[in-house]
Structure 1
């Protein structure tokens, strides 16, 4: 069952796993897990010498207990406290529509938010324009998952509800919260066919953890069935859908951002290449150079995934080798770019408004590790191009199946597909509308998740 075909079980009702979970086996495996934590901490400190992300995560956790106590003391506690834990940026994006909607319901909630990854914390603190969800009163890293830290976190926050997103559950937190009777849920839950959590070695342990949750809201029927196979207790398992669709629709529908005036005033048919890496830029620039010979009114905007000084210099060299001038977005002001200039976003946070200026989008990552977010340009009715690495993205594969997206492997592919669309305005419009309808059809997961969470909260009161 694809992500968007929302149902609970075959008979329309949420299913529960058949057996109560794990006593002795969970205890044995938990003891092994806890015994390995000091070695894992030592390995992290060693790896931090050459791994900047690990070093950032360790640095961010210095003084964590003091920050937690100070932050917890500032909680208003005039409404139930929902603690949302996310791993990183992607899970945070999935959590946002659930947090927002839960806070908007009658009575509301106060929200505590924790991250595991420094990428998530950095994104929230520096780049996230919607971080002012008013109900969020506490934000920090999650401490290392030791039994003592689990007790500390629950003592400090005293949550009425604990919500995990996607797959990031932590054994000591789960078990300590269950011991205290704190309702827990997993939303946007996924469990891949090859997950180690379904293996013979880990299945009993994780089945015991999942059974301590009050509800699991899976993104698809396939994921729900895997949870049912892996869980050995009485947790309610239902299919709610993927909240990423809700977040994209909500962000587009509520945003007041518009394309920079100089870009809009240029009067071009803009192709916006978002979240690009060097291989993406080489393909797009090559294709654009060929396309311009046929369509002189076409313009290109490059939005690199990481607009560092080094990456911007690399893009400048790529454009120079193709005979194309480089124009930083920040330099435009009210002055439209020249006819031959390629606009390059030299900061973060511009992609959504730049997509609004586009006629066609290219989404990067698809020539290397996997395509980035294709939903944002699709919901804006832009036909979407990307490379062949799309196994990580259900929505990219479906957009291809529907004809709303094209896989391009070379610059020649890019030029040919873009020319066909730009030469036929009706085809361009139909292709974009097909993609937008697909994204809109899949919205609605967040209200289903919130209904489950409210049921858990009602049982707590």
Structure 2
């Protein structure tokens, strides 16, 4: 099986080189890894031990960030290295002051893993939620570096629990300790005789709870909203935006803020064609009257988590694609949430549905009905906020466990 895994990594690299001819993300992926070991040598002190955090992308960074910040506060003299697999994480957080060095993770080959771990010399390694790389895990294990998975979540259909998943089960055996989000994950791991697991919950709850307590003020957003009720659509894709078009026409008394998941120009232009009278956030002028604008398009990155403070109801995108995005940022601000049908991989979405603080929809008609229902429901928003508050505390549990290893 290992030869097949190695071949898949090799094939992936070839596909990336072909895709990079026309695909910006693939080009960033490859360019960011060019001469990566020289970049690392020039950026960090390779004679020191580091705390190594790895994140797949931006979402996982925000998920693991409470643990990262707490370790930074507790051990300010300890240098930290962050790696990302995806450009969407690296390009946005490459200059974060939380780490001495932020890098792309080199592709998972035996040689790359050995060289990377030799240079970074990790004291501990912390991976958030996903990302299981055979050679990195094996090298950490051989070097006796404790490896922790935080905010992990496991499902029966994953390859770890299949008859053909021996290679991936080997990866799990390299993990020193698992901190997982739900009881199902605990039982699945124990079914593999992995008892080094704790039900700690999801560190995102700590992150969004703190954000909701002290949100960043956005005067231009507040000016746009005025006194009108506001519907906020976060992390949307084209199928989501096509549904929102109908909703906007039905409810002229509401204002709508759309924050797409991707803000490249071609996607922004698609939205502007769908809803021609939309105003772009970067075109707002302080002091201008918001009365003649119903729809605002967020065309920059990094403010959505604070935009939710101005809303009454939220729609979370991605549910017509690979899966919904972050519902918790909106819920923390007491917003009930609506999302598409693909939410089965997200425990918080299931929980919010059970609390009647969320509604899943599959069509424009269902979106309209959900919107009308939530306008009248005075309990959904408070239930969403309480759910977030009740789930905080994961960060403190994890950091307490990590302290003896640092």
Query: What TM-score do the two structures reach when normalised by structure 1?
Result: 0.80
Matches within 5 A, 1:144-293: 144-203=107-166, 205-230=167-192, 236-260=196-220, 263=223, 266-292=226-252
Match in the other structure for 1:58: 30
- Relative to structure 1, the CA distance from residue 139 to residue 200 in structure 2 (aligned partners, 3 Å threshold; closer, same or farther) is same
Q: Are the equivalent residues in 1 in contact too, given 2:152–2:180 (CA < 8 A)?
A: yes
Task: Give the match for residue 447 of structure 1.
Answer: 396
State the Cα distance separating 1:451 from its structure 2 match: 2.0
Q: 2:336 aligns with which of 377, 383, 386?
A: 383
Counterpart-to-counterpart distance in 1, 2:341 and 2:123? 45
Q: Structure 2 CA distance, aligned partners of 1:145 and 1:120?
A: 18
Q: Secondary structure at the match of 2:92?
A: helix
Alpha-carbon displacement from aligned partner over 1:139-163 (angstroms, at most 9, x marks no partner): 1011222222222222212221112
Q: Which residue of 1 aligns with 2:268?
A: 312
State the structure with more CA Rg.
Answer: 1
CA deviation profile, 1:14-51 (whole Å, cap 9, x unmatched):
xxxxxxxxxxxxxxx54664566545533443444455
* Alignment pair present for 1:300 and 2:256: yes
SS for the counterpart of 1:73 is coil
C-alpha offsets along residues 322-381 of structure 1, whole Å, 9 cap, x if unaligned?
Answer: xxx222222222213234532222222232232111111122222333222111111100
Specify whether residues 152 and 279 from structure 1 end up closer, same or farther in structure 2 by C-alpha distance, changes over 3 A only. Answer: closer
Distance in 2 (CA, whole Å) between partners of 1:441 and 1:240 is 13
Structure 1, 154-163 or 334-343: larger mean CA deviation: 334-343
Shift of 1:283: 1.9
**Alignment partner of 1:73 is 2:77:** no
Q: Which residue of the partner structure matches residue 137 of structure 1?
A: 100
- C-alpha distance in 1, partners of 2:151/2:62? 11
Q: 1:410 to 1:47 in 2, by over 3 A?
A: closer
Which residues of structure 2 form unaligned runs of 5+?
none
1:88 lines up with 2:57 in the alignment? yes
Aligned 8 A contact 1:217 1:239 in 2:
yes
Structure 1 residue 193, shift from structure 2 partner: 0.8
1:14 matched residue in structure 2: none
C-alpha distance in 1 between matches for 2:293 and 2:128: 45
Comparing 310-319 with 378-387, which one deviates more in the overlay?
310-319
Q: Is the 8 A contact 2:230 2:310 kept in 1?
A: yes
Distance 2:175 2:360 in 1: 41
RMSD, aligned CA: 2.6
> What does the per-residue CA deviation read over 1:382-401, in whole Å, with 9 as the maximum and x for residues that have no partner?
12222333223222222122
Question: Partners in 2 of 1:382 and 1:346 — Cα distance?
Answer: 22
Give the 3-state SS of the residue equivalent to 1:42 in structure 2. Answer: helix
TM-fit CA distance, 1:301: 1.7
Residue 88 of structure 1 and its aligned partner are, at CA, apart by 1.7
| 1:206 Cα offset (Å) | 3.0
1:352 equivalent among 281, 305, 329: 305
2:278 is the counterpart of 1:326? yes
- Cα pair distance change 1:183/1:312, threshold 3 Å: closer
Q: Note the alpha carbon deviations across 1:105-140, whole angstroms, 9 max, x for none.
A: 2676321111122222123238xxxx332xx11110
Residues 88 and 115, structure 1, Cα contact 8 Å, conserved in 2: yes
Distance in 2 (CA, whole Å) between partners of 1:358 and 1:314 is: 24
Q: Report the CA distance between 1:258 and its aligned residue.
A: 3.6
Q: Secondary structure at the match of 1:230?
A: coil
Aligned length: 405
Higher relative contact order (CA 8 A, sep 6+): 1
Query: Which residue is 1:433 aligned to?
Result: 382
